[in-house]
Amino acid sequence: MSAPKHVHDACDVLIVGAGASGAAVAWAVSGDTGAKVVCLERGDWSDPRSYLSADDQWEIHRQFRRSPNPNTRGLDVDYPIEDAQSPIKPLLWNGVGGSTILWSAHFPRFHPSDFRVQSLDGVADDWPLTYDDLADFYELNDELMGVAGLAGDPANPPRRPRQTPPISPGKPGERLAAAFDRKGWHWWPSDVATNSRPYGDGRGACNNCGMMELGCYQQAKASTDITYWPKAIRNGVELRTRARVVELPVDASGRCAGAHYLDAAGELHFQPAARVVVAANGIGTPRLLLASRSERFPDGIANSSGLVGKNLMLHPLATAIGVFDELLEGWKGPTACTIFSQEFYETDPARDYVRGFTLQALRSHGPAITALGSFATPLPWGRRHHERFEQVFGRTAGLAIVAEDLPEQHNRIEVDWSQRDRDGIPTARMVYTVSENSEQILAAGAEVARELLREAGAVDVIEQHLPADSRFHLMGTARMGDDPRRSVVDGFGRAHDVDNLFVVDGSTFVTCASINPTPTLQALALRTAMHIVEEL
């Protein structure tokens, strides 16, 4: 690498990535600590008043300019991800707020059992921490993000009252809730990081527009650009956008010296740092670690275990969409955040698989995306099209079956040194196969979903197995653990090999439960940050 053109003053904490977890760390290590904190983010700020949900062609933008798949939108802040060897494609956003800009804001917590799957079920590994170690950080994170929901869910440990009441599930959710009750199966209103009433710094309430996936125009949805970041910046954190980190160099002692990055003009900078926190998501983090080769770390920094990039988990998904003979107006309200069921969450020895699944209720989409099958198989074309469109549009209530994915080393992110992006960084390649256990979970989940939808009165059920563009959940590729031979970082996210290098995104997950990961990765990030603060 050529000599940097710009060398900055050293900082106490350098954060790579301004998304869900990077923002949490930035806030938590700044302020009263007096620490000099710098964050490097490859993307830009978003302007909520420019979100494309306010454009008449919003359904088109959802598929192209603001597709969550970086390979589909092809923006210059994105990096290529070779995904031909994975049936599930990566979804993410590069920018301040990271994927919380486009996410659906589901905000469930892991269960206590999720941290002890080896002890309880004899599979995968236990985490090096427990639910109780994270409980206070979950609560703190809820307060900072703002959660709509209802305490008292009998399927989960107690939690404090939610910041705002639950989002109404609308007619589709009400149909499903009644069916769950008749079956005697658990359901509860989803915890959602979206205000049902104004909450937070100037943030409004959800107006049920149904298109949070394009960013929230009302700033009701908790993306970290409007939750953590304003606070962090008031604390003095310096956030540099359009800063593409290309390498984490090491010093003579083998510690991480900081980061080399390219600015918008393509000029190379060096930001020295006493501590480096990588928060670049389950693909970007292993890509950066593997690309940071040196004499000391020829296989990539922090990779003596050989596990950087390995054990990729994605939460395989299937959907079952019930078609009803009445109008349910499913275009109103957040598509994916209404109610959920964890009746089948845990391992049941009577079944053929281990672990389980969560059911998440779904509303529906606008006319164009409905015709396109809601990102799966399009409605029939030809002379049957109009009749089928009329049967389906606004008349559906669905269930997403979210399977717990178990870690397998052959599922991985690797870097391809023969293909580099415009910055000279090797391309990330996703290699992933859905396991037999996950397939069995999805099959069982589909059977349950069909049964529930029929109970709810569906006259038809449209099933989708493994829709490709379905996964923001990128986990496991720099797993935590106590044993340096079997993990990359310890329980505080500190790299076993490099004591001033931390990882705080979904990469550190040992297992992934069958729920959305963001509250857990943010709670872990806050815990790591508090650990760092003790050192400052």
Partner 1 sequence: MTDQRLPAEERALLAAVLDTFLPGSPEWPAATDLDLPAEAIRLAGLSVAGLAPLRALLAALPAGFATHGPDERETALTALAASEPAGFGAALQAAYNAYYIDPRVLAIVAAKTGYRPGAPQPDGHELPPFDEALIAAARTRAPHWRQA
Nearest approach in angstroms of CB 429 to partner 1 is: 18
Residue nearer to partner 1 on the CB measure, 98 or 333: 333
Residue nearer to partner 1 on the CB measure, 93 or 188: 188
Nearest approach in angstroms of CB 201 to partner 1 is: 20
In terms of phi and psi (left: phi > 0; alpha: psi -120 to 50; beta: otherwise), the region of 114 is alpha
Cα separation, 430 vs 191, in Å, equals: 31
Nearest approach in angstroms of CB 395 to partner 1 is: 9
Cα separation, 333 vs 196, in Å, equals: 11
Residue nearer to partner 1 on the CB measure, 293 or 332: 332
Residue nearer to partner 1 on the CB measure, 43 or 166: 166
Residue nearer to partner 1 on the CB measure, 217 or 502: 217
Residue nearer to partner 1 on the CB measure, 335 or 522: 335
Phi/psi at 341 (5° precision) = -135, 135
Closest CA to 172 of 334, 53, 342: 334
Nearest approach in angstroms of CB 399 to partner 1 is: 16
Q: Which residue, chain included where needed, has tokens 């509303």? A: 363
Cα separation, 386 vs 262, in Å, equals: 51
Nearest approach in angstroms of CB 258 to partner 1 is: 34
Nearest approach in angstroms of CB 48 to partner 1 is: 10
Sign of CA dihedral 315, 103, 236, 230: negative
Nearest approach in angstroms of CB 78 to partner 1 is: 11
Cα separation, 489 vs 83, in Å, equals: 26
50: Cβ–Cβ under 8 A, 6 or more apart, which residues?
none
Nearest approach in angstroms of CB 466 to partner 1 is: 17
Angstrom distances, CA of residue 79 to CA of 181, 287, 397, 503, 506: 46, 11, 36, 20, 19
Residue nearer to partner 1 on the CB measure, 392 or 444: 392
Burial of 62 (0-12, 13-18, 19+ CB in 10 A): buried
Contact 269, 243 (CB under 8 A): yes
Burial letters 293-325, b for 16+ CB under 10 A, else e: beeebeebbbbbbebbbbbbbbbbbbbbbbbbe
Residue nearer to partner 1 on the CB measure, 380 or 424: 380
Cα separation, 276 vs 500, in Å, equals: 6
Residue nearer to partner 1 on the CB measure, 143 or 387: 387
Residue nearer to partner 1 on the CB measure, 196 or 487: 196
Residue nearer to partner 1 on the CB measure, 171 or 310: 171
Contact 41, 18 (CB under 8 A): yes
Question: Strand pairing partners for 317?
Answer: 402
Nearest approach in angstroms of CB 405 to partner 1 is: 19
Nearest approach in angstroms of CB 530 to partner 1 is: 23
DSSP class of residue 510 equals S
Nearest approach in angstroms of CB 103 to partner 1 is: 17
Q: What is the CA radius of gyration of the chain?
A: 22
Angstrom distances, CA of residue 4 to CA of 7, 8, 296, 425: 7, 10, 21, 16
